[in-house]
Structures are given as structure tokens and as C-alpha cells.
Structure 1
Amino acid sequence: MEATSKAFLEQLITTPSPSGDEVAVQRVWMDYVKGFAHQIETDMIGNVMASVNPDNPFKIMLAGHCDEIAFMVSYIDSNGYIYVTKAGGINPKVALGMTVKVLGHEGTLKGIVGVKPQHKGGPKDKIEVSDLYIDCGANTKEEVEKFVMIGDYVIYDTNYEYLLNDKIVGRGLDNRTGAFIVAEVLRRIADKDPKVAVYAVSTVNEETNMGGAYFAASHINPTMAIACDVSFATDHPDMSPKESGEIALGKGPILSKGAPISKKINGLLEKVAKVNELPIQYELTPGSTGTDADRIRLTGKGVPVALVSLPLRYMHAPCEVASLKDIETEIELLVQMILSLDGTENLKPLE
């Protein structure tokens, strides 16, 4: 991976982007794509839409959501302990003992999620979000309220590291990797004269309501769309390939199969993968995908969609693990597929 691209990915990971407050990370994303996008638009929801050849009538939309799971401040007690609720599918059990950042309206406070010592019985077996409290070192409610108010976000105080075999560990790889991938695809096709319009969209709110993707697609009115997200790797001891499929890091991006997915778009991706000898894997989404693809396909008169996912270990944990090799393979797959389009493709299933 090129040094500038890697630095961009690292900046995305280190920039807070709780679902519902993605402005900071969107500014980072927008600053990167302005160097090669032909047009950049934003909307009332907070999406950023960067495009190449925007006047072409055949439009492909690539969507990667930039938001991360988080907590929100719900109560501050008289001793200055902060209580929270969930913003997205965050697991309260793995939060115990973790350091966090409280993104206060008057500055960031560092804190730790309290945990009962094992010597005194340890935490109870079933942990609810209502059991969590954050210790910022304050002595009173008034101390905390100088910085923090109800509704402020809380994120894990973790960033990124590199592991063996080109693997990256970081907070919120779900789905800063997707936002990174769509930007990189746009960069790499910008000077290659694609025969279609290409829209790379960094969407908001996927972890909480998926509204960002819906409004972005409603604005763009794409001919076809591909959601770039993450999915469950099953190559570690806690996962069962029998239940969730054989998905491994380093063996390429994942194509989804099921009712929401266009077989014709999958066919285009599979053809390019074969020609360019790019590895791909498969997952099943029989009813819905649980990603931006579900909302994009419901816009306008209906949009044919595909879902290309990055294999991910430990989804929604304070640190997640992905493969840089898979990221590069996914970018190349999408670049080559876009460059193979001539703008006359008919994506209607019966024609």
C-alpha cells in the first residue's frame, strides 16, 4: 500500500466518528478526495459524495460508511461518575476495564469503564449497558459538567497497530476501511477515463439507522450500487465456519449472495476476479444484508445492488483485525470492474 494511502487510512482510524457525529472524519475524507475528484457534494444528513464523470448517465455508486459504534452520556451522578447508553451495536461486556474518551462539548475527557475487582467477586455474568459507569477521576458532578453534557459521545481509547502478515488492528475498522476503499477506488480510476460516472460516498449513520445511504442514493439516483462494508471472518477459535461460512483473512473480499443482491452485478465482479486472478470469498444474506445495501436498493424505482465485504475478526470489539492484503485486493477488484463497464450494461434480471 502506498505511503500516502496508508497515512490516510491511519488518519481515518484515529479520527472519532461516532454514529450521529461524523463531521470530523468526513472532513478528513473530503480533504483527501479533493485532490482527484471531479466533483464533491455534501447533503443535509452529513454524507460526502465525490465523483468522476458525474455527467455520464450511467452511474455506479460505491458506498462505505464512516461511522463507528459508540456510547452516549445518559446520566452523571453526584460523585462525577458517567453513565451511558448505546449508539449502535456496542457490546457492554467487552467494555469493562477499557479506557475511553468522552467527547465533551467543552473538551475531551479520558476515563475508564469501572470493573469490580476479581478478589471481590468480579463482574456479574450478564452485563447490561446500564451497569456500566465511567470514572474520569472527578470528585463531583459539577467537575464533569464543565466538559460534558447529556448526549455527548464516548468512544474506546484505542487507535491502530500492525500485526504479522500485513494485518492491521484498530478501533472501528467497521467501517473506516469501507470509507477508505471507496475513496481509493475513485483515486485509482480518476485518470483512467472510465466510461461511466463513478460516485464514491462516505455515508453516515449506518451503525444506528442506515439513513445516510438512503438519502445519498436518493440524491445520486444510481444505475447500480455496491456497498463496501465488513463481514465476519471465521478463521479464529470463537467462530464456526459451519454456521457462518468459511471466511479467512488474506483470502480476498467477500461477495454476498441472497435476495437483496443483483446476480448480474455479482457476475461482473466474478468475471473480473477470474480474468485478473483475484481471490474472492462468499457469504449468504438470504433476506437482508444488515448494511447500507438494504437502504440503497429501496430508493427511487429500485436500485440493483451488490455487497463487497472485507473479512474482519472481532467485529464491534474495542479492537478489530483486518488484512491489508484483502483491502488491496478489494480495491483492485472494484477498479477493474468499473473499468470493464461501457455504460450499456442491462442490469434487469429478466432482460
Structure 2
Amino acid sequence: MREESKKFLEKLLSTPSPSGDEANIQKIWMNYIKNFADKVETDAAGNVIAVVNPENTFKIMLAGHCDEIAFMVNYIDDDGFLYLSKAGGISPKLALGMRVKVLGESGAVSGVIGVKAEHQGGSKDEVKIEDIYVDCGAEDRGDMEQYVGIGDYVIYDQDYKYILNDRLVGRGLDNRTGAFIVAEVLRRIADQNVNVGVYAVSTVNEETNMGGAYFAGSSIQPTMAIACDVSFATDYPDMDKKKHGNVALGKGPILSKGAPINKKINQLMVNTAKKNNIPIQYELTPRLTGTDADKIRLSGKGVPTALVSLPLRYMHSPSEIVSLSDMENEIELLVKTILALKGDESLKPVE
């Protein structure tokens, strides 16, 4: 990975992007991609859409969501402690004892999720959202309300780190890595002889309602779409591979198989992988994918859609792990697939 691209990825990972408040990270994404896109625009949902070859009638849409799971301030008690609601699939149990940032209107306020000492009984076996609170050191409600209001977002105070074997750990790799990947794909094909229009979208709200994907799909009306997200690696202790499948870090991106997935798009990527010796893995999504692909597929008159995912350990935890080699292989798979398109492909399963 070139150094400028790596710095861009790191900047995305260091920028808070709770689902519903993605404007700051979108400005960073837009500022990066405007250097090589033919056209960049935003929409009322908060998506950023960058295009190469906008005049082409055959349009491929790549979607990577930039939002991360978070908490929101729901109540401030008389002693200045903050009580929370969830914005996305965030686990209260994993939050115990974690340092957090409350994203107040005037700036971030540091705090910690309180946890009862084991000497005093410890935490409950089953921790619910109403059981946890944030301690920012405030003396009382009035003191706290100088900095924080109802509806302010709360994120883990966790930055990225590189660990052994070309692996990256951090919060919200789901799915700032996807937003990075679609930007990099567009950058790498921008000066190539591309036969189709390529629409790279950094989407919003995936973790809460997937509305950004629907807005983008309805606006672009692509010929085909590929959602770029993360999915579950199963290569760590206590994972039942008979139940959850066999997916490992460092073994390449994951293609989904199931009813929501257009088989012809998948075959295009399989052909590309074989031709270019790019490793790929598979997962099953029999009914829904649980990603932006579901909303894009049902936008407009319907969009043939596929899903390519980055293997990820410890999803929706404060410390997710991915492999940089998987990221590079996913980018290469998408670039080579797009460059192989003639622009007259039929995506109908039956003809």
C-alpha cells in the first residue's frame, strides 16, 4: 500500500463517525477522492458519491459505509452521570470499564463506562443498556450539562494500532475499511481505459437503518452494484466452523452466496480471481446480507447486487482486527473486475 493511501486510511480510522453523524469523516473522504474523480457530489442523506466516466450508461456502483456503532446520551442524572441508548449493534457488556469520548457540541469530553469492583459484587451476568453509565468526572447535572446534551454520541476512546503479521486493530474497522477500499478502487481505475461508469459511494447510516444506501441506489440507478463491507472471520478459539463456516484472516476477501446475490456478478469476480491468482473465500447469505446490499438491491426498479467482504475478527467490539493483505486483495479483485467489463454484460440469470 502506498504511503499516501495508508495515511488516508489512518485518518479515516481516527475520525469519529457514529451512525447519524458522519459529516466530518465524509469531508475527509471527499477531499481525498476529488483529486482523481471526474465528478463528486453529496446528497440529502449525507452520502458522498464520486464518479469516473459519468457519461457512460453502464454504471457500476461500489458502496462502503463510513459510519460506526456508538452510544447516545439518553439521560443525565442529578449527580452528572450519563445514561445511554444504542446507535447500532453495540454491546453494553463489552463497554464495561472502557474509556469513551462524548462528542459534545463544543468538543469531545473524556469519560469512562463505570464498572462495579469485584470486591463489591462485580457486574451483572447479563448487562443491559440501562445498566451502564458514563462517568466524566462531573460534580452534578449542571456541571455536566455545560459540556454534554441529550443525543450526543459516545464512542470508544480507542485508536488504531498495527500488530503482528500485517494486521490492523481498532474500533470501527466495520466499515471505515470499506469506505477506504471503494475510494482506492476508484483511484486505481481513474487513469485506466474503463468501459463503464464507476460510482464509488461512501454511504451513511448502515449500522442503524441503511438509509444512505437506499438514497444512493435510487439516485444513481446503477446497472450493477457491489457492496463492500466486513464479515465474520471464524479463525479464533471457540468458533464452531460447522455452524459459522470457515473464514480466516489473510486468506482473501469473502464473496457472499445466496438469494440476494446476483450470480453473474459473482461469476465475474470468480473469473477475475482465477485469472489473477487472487485468493477468495465464501460465506452464505441465504435470505438477507445484513449490509447495504439489501437496500441497494431494492432501490429504484431493482439492482443486480453482490457483496464482497473483508474478513474481520471480533465484530462490533472495541478492538476489531483485519488483515492489510486481505484489503489489498479485495482492492485488486475489484479493480481487475471493473477493468474487464465491456459495458454490454447481461446480468439476467435466465435468458
Q: TM-score, normalized by length of structure 1? A: 0.99
In structure 2, give the amino acid aligned to 1:149.
G
Does 2:36 correspond to 1:36? yes
Does 2:247 correspond to 1:250? no
Give, in whole Å, the separation in 2 of the partners of 1:240 and 1:10: 33
**Alignment partner, residue 16 of structure 2:** 16
In structure 2, give the amino acid aligned to 1:227.
A
**Alignment partner, residue 72 of structure 1:** 72
Give, in whole Å, the separation in 2 of the partners of 1:59 and 1:123: 52
Deviation, 1:105, is 1.1
Deviations 1:14-67 (A, max 9, x none): 100000000000001001101100000100010000010011000000000000
**Alignment partner, residue 338 of structure 1:** 338
**Alignment partner, residue 192 of structure 2:** 192
In structure 1, give the amino acid aligned to 2:141.
K
Q: Give ranges in structure 2 of 5+ residues lacking alignment.
A: none
**Alignment partner, residue 218 of structure 2:** 218
Q: Give ranges in structure 1 of 5+ residues lacking alignment.
A: none
Deviation, 1:242, is 1.1
Q: Secondary structure at the match of 1:21?
A: coil
**Alignment partner, residue 120 of structure 1:** 120
Name the stretch that deviates more: 234-243 or 208-217: 234-243
Give, in whole Å, the separation in 2 of the partners of 1:179 and 1:35: 16
Q: Secondary structure at the match of 2:188?
A: helix
Deviation, 1:277, is 0.3
**Alignment partner, residue 145 of structure 1:** 145
**Alignment partner, residue 27 of structure 2:** 27
Give, in whole Å, the separation in 2 of the partners of 1:294 and 1:197: 22
**Alignment partner, residue 4 of structure 1:** 4
Deviations 1:70-120 (A, max 9, x none): 000000011110000000000000000000000011221100000000111
Deviation, 1:269, is 0.1
Give, in whole Å, the separation in 1 of the partners of 2:200 and 2:214: 14
Deviations 1:176-211 (A, max 9, x none): 000000000000000002100000000000000000
**Alignment partner, residue 91 of structure 2:** 91
**Alignment partner, residue 157 of structure 2:** 157
Q: Secondary structure at the match of 1:112?
A: strand
Give, in whole Å, the separation in 1 of the partners of 2:160 and 2:107: 23
Give, in whole Å, the separation in 2 of the partners of 1:238 and 1:248: 14
Does 2:280 correspond to 1:272? no
**Alignment partner, residue 166 of structure 1:** 166
Q: Secondary structure at the match of 1:72?
A: strand
Deviations 1:274-319 (A, max 9, x none): 0000000000000000000000000111100000000000000011
Does 2:281 correspond to 1:281? yes
Q: Secondary structure at the match of 2:55?
A: coil
Give, in whole Å, the separation in 1 of the partners of 2:135 and 2:76: 11
Give, in whole Å, the separation in 2 of the partners of 1:127 and 1:257: 35
Give, in whole Å, the separation in 1 of the partners of 2:295 and 2:344: 25
Tell whether the 8 Å contact from 1:65 to 1:205 is kept in structure 2 after alignment.
Answer: yes
**Alignment partner, residue 297 of structure 2:** 297
Deviation, 1:238, is 3.2
Q: TM-score, normalized by length of structure 2? A: 0.99
Give, in whole Å, the separation in 2 of the partners of 1:279 and 1:251: 6
Tell whether the 8 Å contact from 1:48 to 1:203 is kept in structure 2 after alignment.
Answer: yes
Deviations 1:194-245 (A, max 9, x none): 1000000000000000000000010000000000000000000132211111
**Alignment partner, residue 60 of structure 2:** 60
Note the aligned Cα RMSD (angstroms). Answer: 0.5
Tell whether the 8 Å contact from 1:106 to 1:146 is kept in structure 2 after alignment.
Answer: no
Give, in whole Å, the separation in 1 of the partners of 2:235 and 2:341: 34
**Alignment partner, residue 183 of structure 2:** 183
Name the stretch that deviates more: 275-284 or 232-241: 232-241
